[in-house]
Structure 1
Amino acid sequence: MTGEEAAEAFLLWMGTERRASPLTIEAYRNDLKRFLSFMTEHLGGLPDMAGLGKISLRDMRAWLAHERVQPVRPSVRKNTPDRAARTRSRRVSAVRSFFRYLAKRQGVENTAVTLLATPRTKKPLPRPLSVKDAKAVPQNIGDCAHTDMARQRDGTLFLLLYGCGLRISEALNLDVRDIGLVRASNILKVKGKGSKERLIPVLAQVRGALEAWVKVHPDPQGGAAPLFPGVRGKRLQAGVAQKAMREWRALAGLSEDATPHSLRHSFATHLMEGGADLRVIQELLGHASLSTTQHYTLADEARLLEVWRKAHPRAHTTS
C-alpha cells in the first residue's frame, strides 16, 4: 500500500467511523496531500507503508519549515501571521491523526510525529454584534429576499440563530417534525458536533416565528421535510444564508464580522452580559469543554477595556 492509498483509507475511516464532516475530510485530504508531496520530494520517492514508519523527526521538522514559508490560501480575510500559524497547526493535527490511524489499524508505528511541536496560535476572540444589530438582523434580512417565502424563511432562520445560539449547520439540519417538541414543551432538540444532542429552551418570540413559518412552509405536513428548504424544496445550503447575510450587512453598513455565526457569538455574549452562569452557556452552546466557553469572558473583558480606553480621562495621559 502506498502512502496515498493509506491516506485515502484513513479518510474513509474518518468519514464512516469517526463521522467527520465532509469539510473536515476535504481539509484533511488537502493537508495529507501536501505532506506526502513534500515527503516524496524530500525522500526521493513516494513513501510506502514501511517508508511512513521510517520518517524521522528531522524530516517532520523539514516539512513544517517548508510549510512556514508557503503562502496561505487566498481568502476574504487577511493572511495574518496568526492565521497562517492556525493553518499549520491544523495540518500538524491532520498528520498526527493519520499516523495514529496507521498505528492502530495498519500496524505502522512512528513516534516522531508525537515529538513535533505544534505551531503556537492565538485563539481568536468572538466578535458579537451589538444587541441592537443582533435584533435587527432577523427583522430586516428578509428585505434582501426575492420571494415572500424566502423573506419569512430567512427572518425565521436568523431569529433562531440568535434566539437559540445555534450553529448555521444545526439550524439547517432541522426538519419540520422537530417543531413538535417546541409546541409541546418550548424545547428544541438539536444535533450538534459529533452527533451529540442537546436541548435548548425556546423563547416565545422564536416559537411564534417558527409556528408562523410552518403555516406557510411549502411542505408543512412532511415531517421529514427540511425546516428551511431552498427554492427546489431541498435543504437550504449554508452558502445561501451566508450570502443573504453579506447582502444585508452591506445595506446596514456593518463590518465583515457580521456573519450567521456571529449571531451565535452574540447569543452567548449577551447572555453573559445579562449575568448568565458560564456553565449554563456551555450547555446551551453544546461546548464539550468549559475552556471554549470561557473565551466569551475574555471577549467581554476586551470590550470593557476598549470602552475604558476611549472614555476614561486618564487613559490618554502618560503620568
Structure 2
Amino acid sequence: MTKLFSIKGLVSGLFAATAALPALAQDNLEIVGAPTPGAMGFQPAATELAHDLQWLDGMLLVIITIISLFVVVLLAWAGWRYNARRHPEPASFTHNSPIEIAWTVIPIVVLVLIGAFSLPILFKQQVIPDADVTIKVTGYQWYWDYSYVDEGFEFSSYMIGAPATGGQNMLTPEVIEQLNEAGYSEDEFLLATDNAVVVPVGKNIVMQVTGADVIHSWTIPAFGVKQDGIPGRLAELWFNADREGIYFGQCSELCGINHAYMPITVKVVSEEAYAAWLEEAREEFASLPQSFQVAAK
C-alpha cells in the first residue's frame, strides 16, 4: 500500500535537508576571504586574477611613491635655490628645451611601462575560459539567486538575520542562534548567508551575472572579481580558486534601502566534497525527496 506523507512531515524533511547542506560544505573549511576591522590591506589572494591585481597595485604604489618623492624634493630644492632672498632679480628666460622634452618623454615612458603590465592583466579578466562549472547569478532587491546551469537546479541566498530569514537586520539572540546552527560566529554577521555558492577548488568557474530589477554588482575581493548585474543584460566573470575555504563578498552597486544586507558567501571545497554537495543539492533544490511518493489515483 502506498504511503502518503503529510504536508507537515514533508515540510519538516525539506527544512532538515536545507539545514544539512551548509554543514556539509562547511566542515573543516577555514574562513579565508573576510574583511578585517581596522585593516588597510587586501584580503588573501585566492586566485591568479587576485594575485595579478595585488602585484600590479604594489608596482603602481612603488612608481607613484617615487614620482611623489621626486616632485616634493624638486619643489623643496627649487624653493631653497631660487627664493627671493638668494635671487632678488628673477630670471627672464621663457623656455628650456631639454627640460620640456624630458617632462614630455619621461611621463610617456612611465605610462607605456604601466600599460605593458596592466593591459595583459585586464585582458586575462575579460577572456572567459572554458567553464568547468557555470553558475548564473541574478541580483534582486535584496538577495541573490543562483542557478547551476549544467546541473538543473537553483536556489536563493539571503543574509542570515535579514527579514526574509526571520531577522530584523540586527544581531539578536535568534540571529546568533541561526549563525551558530549554520556553523558561523557572531563575527560573520552581515557576511554569512543561509545558502552559499559551493564550487570545487582548482576549477574554472564562470559566473553569468544579471539583475532582475535594478543594477547590482557581484564581488568577491579575495578572488579579484567584480561584475555589475544589469537588468536585460548577461555579463560574465570567471575565477579559479587555488585554496579551499570560505570567502565573503557584498553587492557593490548601490541598489536600494537594503543594499547593505545582500552579502555573498562562496565555499571552495574539494572535488569529493563538491560531488557530495551536488548530490544533496540536486535532490533539495531540483526535485522532491527520493522517499516522497505520489498516491496512485
Per the normalisation by structure 2, the TM-score is 0.26
Structure 1 or 2: more strand by fraction: 2
Q: Radius of gyration: which is bigger?
A: 2
Per the normalisation by structure 1, the TM-score is 0.25
Structure 1 or 2: more helix by fraction: 1
Could you say which structure has the greater relative contact order, defined with CA pairs below 8 angstroms and 6 or more residues apart? Answer: 2
